[in-house]
Chains A and B, each alone.
Chain A
């Protein structure tokens, strides 16, 4: 059974067995208690929880720990310097951070394509008023799934960048806890499967926010959505522990905090948020599942519960989560700008600390999503002011980036184009924020397309564009090959133009009263032509992403072999062979200068021992 040697195959088989076994046991228990054996909700709930565990068992997540628990020595990871192709490693439980980084990134792209296809489907329906190709329920399911699937994709992408980059950037051989690291990836897979399967188990019509009471009444798909997000949340928490410990404990000699590559600062702030906040969405969703399954009335006023309580707990994660999505992306912008501008990052310390400040303030703004729930004036004004304060550290970043451009020698390769695109998109995203922060204007634009356009700007500018920049930039590092620059540029321009067509129309009709999350809209409001423009823009984005996928697949297989340091970067990861060997550096590198001293004759950031010929 050669197929069975792949962890993913084993995991899926074990997972299905666990799912069925869990369901069977639940049915047996129900029958023994005198209940009807089959009840879809409780039976599938325990089935999917057992299936998640057996999935992890199948992939081998517990193998080494089980050996240790029995007092045996865990086998050395079998992959050191072995012959044969590398790709099977990507289908296995592999503790190497570079492999895990690629696993996360590829998963992110696949999940993002799924979410994108959903959006392109319901955008067709929205192009004209009236219902043409689907029911309002189908629209609600697609729209809701689009939201949560994209968020899951972003979390995977953040994990991808963090895993691939942090150890190399700080001169470490790997993450602090490699097996925990692999677990953080593999536990996300059944979570993602659950989230996507919500579409095939009845769907859920609550939006990704899953507010009760609607979430309590929603079809069975909602249960898979809540449980799936809970499991993906575990992945975030486990991953963030690793990032924090690794960054604190495993920096190369001489790498003080203010000599870390700036991306690592962004990830440090991100990991703190993930570690502290993620359990809140887990708890909120778990409470809804308990209310659905067992009638516990946490959010049911008839049973003494409180509807708005859910929103407080939910947003205590879900607003900081926005900074989980964007801080790594802003880190990529800060990281790449100096390389393509050929001069130091302006105001390094200010940019680094602004990430920490955003992370801190991010915890104090959650209720700005809830002005329309009638918070009362004290909460209203407090959250308005904290929300506006976010503009200050974000402004520091923007102005510092401008000053970084000033006086440079700028080139415009694909990664740089995506960085510059993010700058523009995120600028508009940021500037459209205050309208939602002021109570009086928020009570007008809240739950309109203005908000939809605003957060798509922050997500595309803060994550999607930087993520593409990062993929292009570190593609040669991961594969040893170069992507097609021509296709990369076509991808960029299609996305830039398409995205703005999409959102500018959304901003405009949002200001004129277009509600969000509606399957159909009143033709008398005259939004039809604008909606057509938005749909057209969305399809341009779709075509761009298709070209990206083609570029990646072709280049990974047949791309030109990349030169060792195509971007002439001073960062440690570019001093390694591509792809780097397991353990990264033969001897720990030594940090002897500032990270971005481009333009200073004779400056050097790290001293890395030349890789011996014995390696790759």
Chain B
């Protein structure tokens, strides 16, 4: 038993050192949401426990290797003992107690966060997040605004509804801590409260194909007043057909292929399109009314304009764009006389 003194003393000393290191170390990315405090302190508590277990095990391990090494010239075997029921029970029961206590604590932490598996409360800002290969769109349904940058107020809880169009993605801003998958056919929710003004990034955390690494979108957290100003401006744009349309058309890349000045690009120009007759590849002629324009956006193969190829324009705008955005684009096209 005298042999126990040194490793026990070392365990105590080094445990204190390890715990102090864990206490001071910056273990995680800089926090920017209220939820980070609870997550970080649970993480630190876990690391305290494992630091102590690590030190305990390693000290006895290395001490044994040194103290019980075979010295030169020794030939005999080790001490002959098989088991010690008391010890075995002790190192079964103590971990069980730690597991149960920590399990309870862990369940409390995630429940108290009220971040996952919770209904929306009245003063949450609602944001619909849609992931698709390989970009994010953010919709503020209460305000009727949709963007590709995530702009949030500081100090107000945000209720994210998470959706995916094609494959699984995962919505994660490391500084906000908690992530949640966006899954086709299933809506997930996540409630977070950004509390640091600054610029961050949504980083897709679930492998989603070719450009997964680059599936990142800017996040801006603003002071409440600045956010309100930004939102007022966005609402104004959204409600002004001359502004909403151009914004949406830029956001979804429409004007990359459809010119607004009559020049010929990959797709037909929008200038002078609305209300006029269009010759189709199959020889027929249609009038470019609202229904035709809408059909050409959501089902581009339905009618191919003479002189243009099929299968160039993406066919998923029906799922990517809101009805309002589609209407905005149509209204915009109609202004291009």
Closest chain A residue to B208, Cβ basis: A214
Contact residues in B for A349 (Cβ distance below 8 Å): 83
Q: Are B68 and A407 in contact (CB under 8 A)?
A: yes
Option from A376, A408, A411, A438 in Cβ contact (under 8 Å) with B42: A438
Q: Give min CB distance, A402 to chain B, whole Å.
A: 5
Q: Give min CB distance, B208 to chain A, whole Å.
A: 6
Stretch of A25-33, A111-119, A203-211, A606-614 at the chain-chain interface: A203-211
Q: In the complex, which of the residues A374, A381, A400, A512 has the most CB atoms of chain B within 10 Å of its own CB atom?
A: A374
Contact residues in A for B203 (Cβ distance below 8 Å): 513, 515, 522
Asked whether any CB of chain A lies closer than 8 Å to the CB of B122, the reply is no
Interface SS of chain B: helix, strand, loop or mixed? mixed
Option from A213, A347, A374, A519 in Cβ contact (under 8 Å) with B88: A347
Option from B57, B76, B92, B117 in Cβ contact (under 8 Å) with A374: B117
Q: In the complex, which of the residues A349, A406, A521, A599 has the most CB atoms of chain B within 10 Å of its own CB atom?
A: A406
- Docked complex Cα distance between A597 and B188 (Å): 58
Option from B68, B99, B170, B210 in Cβ contact (under 8 Å) with A205: B210
- Within B269-328, the residues touching A (CB, 8 Å) are none
Asked whether any CB of chain B lies closer than 8 Å to the CB of A308, the reply is yes
Determine the interface band of chain A, counting residues with CB < 8 A from chain B. Answer: 35 or more
Given A213-B167, A301-B185, A447-B206, A405 and B64 touching (CB < 8 A)? Answer: yes
Closest chain B residue to A213, Cβ basis: B167
Q: Are B117 and A381 in contact (CB under 8 A)?
A: no
Asked whether any CB of chain B lies closer than 8 Å to the CB of A348, the reply is yes
Option from B84, B91, B170 in Cβ contact (under 8 Å) with A372: B170
Determine the interface band of chain B, counting residues with CB < 8 A from chain A. Answer: 35 or more
Q: Are A342 and B64 in contact (CB under 8 A)?
A: no
Q: Are A392 and B213 in contact (CB under 8 A)?
A: no
Asked whether any CB of chain A lies closer than 8 Å to the CB of B260, the reply is no
Contact residues in A for B53 (Cβ distance below 8 Å): 431
- Within B160-188, the residues touching A (CB, 8 Å) are 162, 166-168, 170, 172, 174-175, 177-181, 183-186, 188
Q: Are A344 and B82 in contact (CB under 8 A)?
A: yes
Q: Are A435 and B46 in contact (CB under 8 A)?
A: yes
Q: Are B208 and A377 in contact (CB under 8 A)?
A: no
- Docked complex Cα distance between A352 and B181 (Å): 39
In the complex, given contacts A214-B207, A348-B82, A388-B102, what are 6 additional A-B residue pairs having Cβ atoms less than 8 angstroms apart? A307-B185, A344-B80, A374-B183, A411-B69, A423-B61, A439-B107
Residue contacts A-B, CB under 8 angstroms, 6 given: A213-B184, A372-B179, A388-B99, A438-B46, A441-B39, A594-B82
Q: A residues within 8 Å of B by Cβ? A: 136-137, 140, 205-207, 211, 213-214, 217, 301-302, 305-308, 341-344, 346-350, 372-374, 376-377, 380-381, 384-385, 388-389, 391-392, 395-396, 398-400, 402-403, 405-412, 420, 423-424, 427-428, 431-432, 434-435, 437-441, 443-444, 446-448, 511-513, 515, 517-522, 594, 597-600
Closest CB pairs A-B (n = 10) = A301-B185, A343-B78, A513-B174, A408-B78, A599-B77, A407-B79, A518-B213, A599-B80, A405-B64, A374-B188
